[in-house]
């Protein structure tokens, strides 16, 4: 198996794990679960996200497709930045429970958009 395929499978796997962890933490936030205070909840998601980002960077270098050169990758990067900011509002920095829940939904929509862009390779995936 070549390096690109390994990176692609690692990337897809970490996308799924990231989504499961984000949804889990979001549900724990909604229901005020003490599980959010567990040590592994603070440690594992950043490790998974680092592997996710590293695999993405590796694939861009192998394919010679780069953000700000390829429009679909630019859309993914911009949406990713939005997802990170809104997600941190949902899980950490939102002042009210209502704001956190709203931010959680927006972050999930952005996540879905990122996946749709990755699958269609177009910044406007609903137009295909």
The pTM of the full predicted model, rounded to 2 decimals, is: 0.92
Q: What pLDDT does residue 50 have?
A: 96
Q: What pLDDT does residue 76 have?
A: 96
Cα dist from 70 to 14, 26, 56, 67, 74, whole Å: 23, 32, 14, 6, 6
Question: What value, to the nearest 5°, has the Cα angle with vertex 2 and ends 111 and 13?
Answer: 25
Q: What pLDDT does residue 82 have?
A: 97
Residues of the chain with pLDDT under 70: 128
* Residue 33 structural domain: 3-127
CA atoms 9, 52, 59, 104: torsion sign: positive
**Total number of domains constituting the chain:** 1
Taking the mean position of all CA atoms in its chain, how far away is CA 87?
9
Q: What pLDDT does residue 127 have?
A: 84
């Amino acid at each position: 198996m070549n390096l690109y395929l390994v990176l692609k499978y690692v990337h897809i796997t970490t996308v799924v794990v990231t989504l499961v962890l984000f949804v889990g933490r979001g549900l724990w936030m909604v229901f005020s679960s003490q599980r959010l205070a567990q040590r592994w909840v603070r440690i594992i998601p950043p490790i998974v996200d680092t592997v996710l980002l590293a695999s993405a960077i590796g694939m861009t270098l192998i394919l010679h497709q780069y953000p700000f050169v390829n429009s679909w990758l630019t859309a993914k990067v911009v949406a990713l930045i939005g997802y990170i900011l809104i997600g941190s509002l949902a899980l950490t920095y939102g002042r009210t429970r209502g704001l956190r829940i709203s931010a959680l939904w927006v972050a999930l929509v952005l996540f879905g958009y990122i996946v749709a862009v990755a699958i269609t390779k177009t910044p406007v995936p609903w137009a295909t």
